[in-house]
Chains A and B, each alone.
Chain A
């Protein structure tokens, strides 16, 4: 399979601290990869580097596009998002005071731009596009059985639904790669099981690559095809769930003796 996202020698120094150092990793088409590691290993920093929120100190990130491999370094987050990298956040960052539907519609803006004069004067085209986007957004919500909540304020929804909306919102940008930052954090076992099914379904139905950070090992071992283990900002191991489970270094660092 062809490499979709290629990360080479990625390093990020915060002052004297190397939060991420010399990380090499790659994501292929239609793959479900997990990124695990102890607290403070640099997982979220790695996410922020790949999605452009923090500029890397060294190394390169490149994405395969229609015009060949393109380097993402130095590009703004909105540009990278537009190129097909979407993400969710560890601590939910929804547009709280807007409706669920608006949350999804906002994500569709970058792929459906309009000029400023067009938004002042309502042409028939405006209503047509608006109706089309509304339908697309409702269809997307329906897949996750949230169409009845379309007019609810995002902040008024229960925690699990907010997490799901974050994923839907990211999917609405029509990404090639979806980054999920601890999607199961704060969920009970049933909710986690439901989420596991959802993630599988997303990857299958949308044909996209998913990279997820997660602490819940049952979820990781269940869904991931490949796993990267990060420790102290360095890549400790890489492999299938089986390989990782039997990797002595990983067991010592993270999983603990009994797994």
Chain B
């Protein structure tokens, strides 16, 4: 009991130290406006990819529709903050987006999660396209032109806090009884059912959870970039998130963090290469897939607890 508290406290300290470090770097002038922009995009990508990793890596359901849920969060936040341009308005918009995304994920998940593999990927891709097309055709969302001139209510601090919160919730979920049940579905559905696991329920739960976190990412995206259009949430966006998950390691949250940061920095550094940027970016991906086909981290996770136990063991050994 006390021990668990200790590890949780260490994680909290790491999170606070990271926040202070970024603050100091910004004060000293190492992080300029451009770097801060990258930082925020990395944060948003972490939120999006963590949710997708829960769906793909832990429940084993191959979804290609993450951008659809992101769009719901983005538009909900954008519309609400247009009406109420205060931080409170942003919170209301984000929560509304999460609820909307959760409900839509439930409706999409119930029928499509009966499918497997490629079929599920196509079905979720189609669902995301439906969401996008609806947004294109609605008047309130301003059609294909999208919404612009939104109040900027998200800054890097808010993104940072939300990255920490969603990660804690996701990791807690994975390491709970429900989370183990979700993983058993990935491993062997028939065996899981025979052990008393309601596989449909847990598949849908992971899908809804992932969809809701995508809405958080979308809300932050809308509020930071200040301009959104339906085309921002097409299939390419879903694939961009998927790339982070696959590159980091399917089933590793640590890997998702590393890949999001690496790709973000790569993207930033290569801005000056112009058209060559996409070639180099793709090349980097190909090289990683050749040398680390299971992603950078496979299913490995960083754990403070294990680090401590190892130190203890080393001490006892000496």
Residues in chain A within 8 A of chain B (CB atoms): 51, 53, 76-78, 81-82, 86-87, 89, 93-98, 102, 105-114, 116, 118-122, 124, 126-130, 133, 169-170, 172-173
Interface presence of B301 (CB below 8 A): no
Q: Is the interface of B mostly helix, strand, loop or mixed?
A: helix
Are the C-beta atoms of A106 and B194 separated by less than 8 Å?
no
Segment of B103-111, B178-186, B216-224, B230-238 in the binding face: B178-186
Does B112 have its Cβ within 8 Å of any Cβ on chain A?
Answer: no
Minimum distance in angstroms from A183 CB to a CB of chain B: 15
Q: Pick the residue among B1, B176, B179, B193 that contacts A77 (CB under 8 A).
A: B193
Selected from B184, B190, B199, the residue in CB contact (under 8 A) with A98 is: B184
Q: What is the CB-to-nearest-CB distance from B109 to chain A, in angstroms, rounded to a whole number?
A: 14
Check if A95 sits within 8 Å of B194, measured CB to CB.
no
List the A side residues contacting B138 at CB < 8 Å: none
Q: From the candidates B8, B184, B190, name the one contacting A106 in the complex (CB within 8 A).
A: B184
Among all A-B residue pairs, the 5 with the closest Cβ atoms? A110-B196, A119-B176, A95-B187, A81-B196, A93-B191
**A120-B166 Cα distance, complex, nearest whole Å:** 10
Residues of B in contact with A, size category: 20 to 34
Assuming the contacts A97-B299, A114-B177, A116-B205, asked whether A77 and B188 have C-beta atoms less than 8 A apart, the reply is no
- Quote the shortest CB–CB distance from B150 to chain A (angstroms): 29
Q: Evaluate contact between B178 and A116: CB separation under 8 angstroms.
A: yes
B303 on the A face (CB < 8 A): no
- Nearest Cβ in chain B — how far from A89, in angstroms? 7
CB-CB under 8 A from B23, the residues of chain A are none
A114 contacts B178, C-beta separation under 8 Å: yes
Q: Which residue of B lies closest to A104 (CB)?
A: B195
B173 contact set on A, CB distance < 8 A: 116, 119-120
Is there an interface contact between A119 and B191, defined as CB atoms closer than 8 Å? no
Partner of B169 from A53, A77, A120 at Cβ < 8 Å: A120
Given A95-B188, A95-B192, A106-B184; 16 other pairs, CB 8 A cutoff? A53-B193, A76-B198, A96-B187, A96-B188, A105-B180, A106-B181, A109-B195, A116-B173, A116-B205, A118-B176, A119-B172, A119-B173, A119-B179, A122-B8, A128-B1, A130-B177
Known: A98-B187, A112-B177. Contact between A107 and B195, CB under 8 A?
yes
B57 CB, min distance to chain A CBs, angstroms? 11
Instruction: Say whether, besides A94-B188, A120-B169, A127-B1, A114 and B176 are in contact (CB < 8 Å).
Output: yes
Assembly CA distance A105 to B8 (angstroms): 23
CB nearest to B8 among chain A residues:
A122
Chain B residue with the shortest CB-CB distance to A114: B177
When distances are taken between beta carbons in the complex, the residues of chain A under 8 Å from B196 are: 78, 81-82, 107, 109-111, 173
List chain A residues, Cβ under 8 A from B1: 124, 127-128
CA distance A89 to B299 in the complex (A): 27
